[in-house]
Amino acid sequence: MKRAVRQAKNGSGLEKMIRRLVKRHKGPLMLISREALRQQFERFRRHLPNVAPYYAIKANPDPEIIKAFVKLGAGFDVASANEMNLVLDLGADPKKIIFANTIKSSEDIAFAYKKKVKFMTFDNEPELYKIARHCPGARVLVRIKVDNHGSTVELSLKFGADPDQAIFLLKKAKSLGLRPAGVAFHVGSQCVNVDNYLQALDVSSVIFNEAKKIGLQLDTLDIGGGFPIRHFDDDDHLTFKDIARQVRKKMRRLFDKQTNFIAEPGRFFAGPAGTLVTQVVGRTFRNNRNYYYLNDGVYGDFSGIVFDHCRYEFKTMRRGQKFISTLAGPTCDSFDTIALNVDLPELDVGNVVYVKNIGAYSSASAVPGFNGFPPARVLLV
């Protein structure tokens, strides 16, 4: 009951702010809450106090978000020279950046070396030759393939060495003059299956122990990201707190106190901070239901429907009886359909439809200007 009352109060405050901002600004808006960014960072540090967070900026590379995490003391996970340059220009410490794309161009590796970013992942032997040539002496983590069962986005199809190849690859790294530092894994994005983490920790521990036997002293484990958030108010899946409690216990049992743990939260940091505000620009009645056309769609900030397999909770500031409705984007493309069956009250042109917890993999993957429609304007609030 208390939670319902709190949500109602929060919703009321949010809707007042939305009304004010819609009057002031045109077009769809992506509202990013500074306070939510801070809260998510502190929540991570509270429940995984021995794990250093490296924000995966692919989730949302907005400069103001990056500056907020620089101020909070986060590290950064980057996948390209462009991402690296962005965080460096905004004040990130090169020593707190991990180049976490296991397949990097030679040019990007050379750029990392020039910028003194010498911490990176790999998952194959040819990559090691590139790193050794263009970033000599780099600290490297071998990324291994682990189970992604129960994760919304599968990330082991494209990346990760088979665990039984890890020792060979780490030895190869050392022979090439690199510094084999440890192991990295990723359990898949929006993971609600804690067994993925626990099994990955077991596998990583075996690699650490085998490395020690042959004289390789590994000191770093990267547990990746994938920590889940709630997209709907009534989501009841496993929470980050639940996962963190079991992960902490497992890490204490399997690894010595000298091990450095890092992680790459992206969605977990940026997702809850974002609220997308759209407006109805057209309506009709077809297929025995209301069709509402919004000024943002799947080519814009609802791109997570396609690229992130995400489902969203659509809210309005209208009250009253609800009807099965369809939401579509503004482009001249039938693919630009946001939701076929959603319960909504009767809406008119100009009414607001908004979505919470959409700060990650939305504006970041939007196509700029398809059909001439720009993505949402980002506002920090």
What pLDDT score was predicted for residue 372?
A: 82
Give the pLDDT band (50/70/90) at residue 297. very high
Do 85 and 150 have their domain in common? yes
The catalytic site residues sit at 332
User: Which of 150-154, 185-189, 210-214 has the largest mean confidence?
Assistant: 210-214
Residue at a domain's end among 238, 265, 292? 265
Do 238 and 146 have their domain in common? yes
The model's pTM: 0.90
DSSP 161: B
What pLDDT score was predicted for residue 340?
A: 92
Lowest model confidence (mean pLDDT) among 18-27, 103-112, 192-201, 364-373: 364-373
Do 245 and 298 have their domain in common? no
Average pLDDT rounded to a whole number, residues 349-378: 89
| Residue type present at position 174 | K
Residue at a domain's end among 244, 265, 286? 265
Contact call for residues 113 and 131 (beta carbons, < 8 A): no
What is the C-alpha separation between 360 and 6, in angstroms, rounded? Answer: 24
Do 183 and 75 have their domain in common? yes
Please give the residue range of the domain that contains residue 133: 34-265
Total domain count for the chain?
2
Angle at 308 between CA 314 and CA 339, to 5 degrees: 35
Do 41 and 170 have their domain in common? yes
What is the C-alpha separation between 337 and 289, in angstroms, rounded? Answer: 14
Do 205 and 306 have their domain in common? no
User: How does strand 274-286 pair with strand 260-263?
Assistant: unpaired
Residue at a domain's end among 219, 250, 265? 265
Do 301 and 347 have their domain in common? yes
Do 138 and 97 have their domain in common? yes
What CATH number is associated with residue 361?
2.40.37.10
Is pLDDT of 5 > 60? no
Do 213 and 301 have their domain in common? no
Angle at 140 between CA 136 and CA 173, to 5 degrees: 65
What is the C-alpha separation between 74 and 42, in angstroms, rounded? Answer: 11
Average pLDDT rounded to a whole number, residues 61-84: 97
pLDDT by residue (tens digit) across 17-63?
Answer: 999 998 899 889 999 999 999 999 999 999 999 999 999 999 999 99
Average pLDDT rounded to a whole number, residues 105-116: 98
Q: Left, alpha or beta for 232 (phi > 0: left; psi -120 to 50: alpha)?
A: beta
Is pLDDT of 308 > 70? yes
Name 118's Cβ contacts closer than 8 Å, sequence gap at least 6.
112, 135, 137, 138, 139
Do 77 and 109 have their domain in common? yes
What is the C-alpha separation between 355 and 358, in angstroms, rounded? Answer: 7
Ranges assigned E (strand) in the chain: 29-32, 51-56, 75-78, 97-99, 119-122, 139-143, 151-153, 179-184, 189-191, 220-222, 260-263, 274-286, 289-294, 314-316, 322-328, 337-345, 352-356, 377-380
User: Which of 62-66, 146-150, 360-364 has the largest mean confidence?
Assistant: 62-66
pLDDT by residue (tens digit) across 167-196?
Answer: 999 999 999 999 999 999 998 777 778 888
Do 277 and 260 have their domain in common? no
Among 298, 306, 307, 308, CA closest to 278: 298
Angle, helices 81-89 vs 63-72, to 10°: value is 60
What CATH number is associated with residue 147?
3.20.20.10
Do 7 and 124 have their domain in common? no
Q: Which residues of 347-360 are buried (b: 16+ CB within 10 A; e: fewer)?
A: beeebbbbbbbbbb
